[in-house]
Amino acid sequence: RIGSAAATLALPGQRGGPAEYGVSLAVGPGARLVWAPEQLVSASGSDLRVTTRAEVEGDGRLVLREEQILGRTGEPAGTLTSRLTVRHDGRTLLDQELACGPGASGGWDGPAVLGGRRALGQLVVVDTAFADKPFEPALFGSAAAGSAALTPLAGPAVLVTALAPDARLLRRLLDEAGAALGAGA
């Protein structure tokens, strides 16, 4: 289980232009990894590009949790571009990119995308047990407290995508989904 002691805060750079960081995870056969760092907060004026890549082999098990907060309390969001790629035995199970904030293309804050919410997260679980007993799509939460959707992926994996008004409610949604999946992230 790998986490972090505190949230990551993306701040405006001294020289302008975007900042970048990447995470690469590898889970070998028989290994188990829970990757659950604290939230990433995109402060006003920041421009951050995050890339997370995970490769799972054989009967390895991965629980990957990301929580992204758009702006600190009472401030607008910075620009955040997040790319998440998950592969199992060399086959892509998930490859998604999300861009939010003033530098993102239009519509990210509209009712069809974030609908004014400022906390979003993903929970991905790769487990070969899902091949024999796949999960059905499911919803968690409520309109006021935020909502999450569980989506089975092609392969032995599921994706939970969550939106909430704040970090506390996002954490509660992902905890609920994780418990339903036996993921304890």
How far apart (Å, rounded) are the C-alpha atoms in residues 46 and 164?
Answer: 21
pTM of the model: 0.91
Q: What is the reported pLDDT for 16?
A: 77
| Number of other CB atoms surrounding residue 136 within 10 Å | 7
**CA-closest candidate to residue 85, choices 74, 73, 94, 98:** 94
Higher pLDDT, 64 or 182: 64
pLDDT-based confidence at residue 185 (cuts at 50, 70, 90): low
Assigned domain for 3 exists: no
Q: What does DSSP say about strands 119-126 and 157-164: parallel, antiparallel, or unpaired?
A: antiparallel
Assigned domain for 42 exists: yes
Q: What kind and span of H or E run contains 172?
A: helix 167-181
CA atoms within 13 A on the CB side of 159: 15
- Read off the pLDDT of residues 116-172 as tens digits, 9 standing for 90 and up: 788 999 999 999 999 888 889 999 887 777 899 999 998 899 999 999 999 999 999
Assigned domain for 159 exists: yes
Q: What does DSSP say about strands 79-88 and 47-56: parallel, antiparallel, or unpaired?
A: parallel
DSSP codes, 25-84: EEE-TT-EEEE----EEE-TT-EEEEEEEEEE-TT-EEEEEEEEEESSTTS---EEEEEE
Q: What does DSSP say about strands 19-27 and 47-56: parallel, antiparallel, or unpaired?
A: parallel
Report the pLDDT averaged over residues 56-85.
94
Enclosing domain of residue 163:
8-181
Assigned domain for 82 exists: yes
Assigned domain for 107 exists: yes
Q: What is the reported pLDDT for 112?
A: 66
Assigned domain for 1 exists: no
Cα three-residue angle 76-140-80, rounded to 5 degrees: 25
Could you give the number of structural domains in the chain?
1
Assigned domain for 169 exists: yes
Q: Mapped to the 3 state alphabet, what secondary structure does 121-133 carry?
A: EEEEEECCHHHHC
DSSP codes, 106-165: TTTTSTTTTTT--EEEEEEEE-THHHHSPPPPEEEEETTTEEEEEEEETTTEEEEEEEES
- Is-contact 98 67, C-beta < 8 A? no
- Read off the pLDDT of residues 20-68 as tens digits, 9 standing for 90 and up: 999 999 999 999 999 999 999 999 999 999 999 999 999 999 999 999 9
Q: What is the reported pLDDT for 104?
A: 82
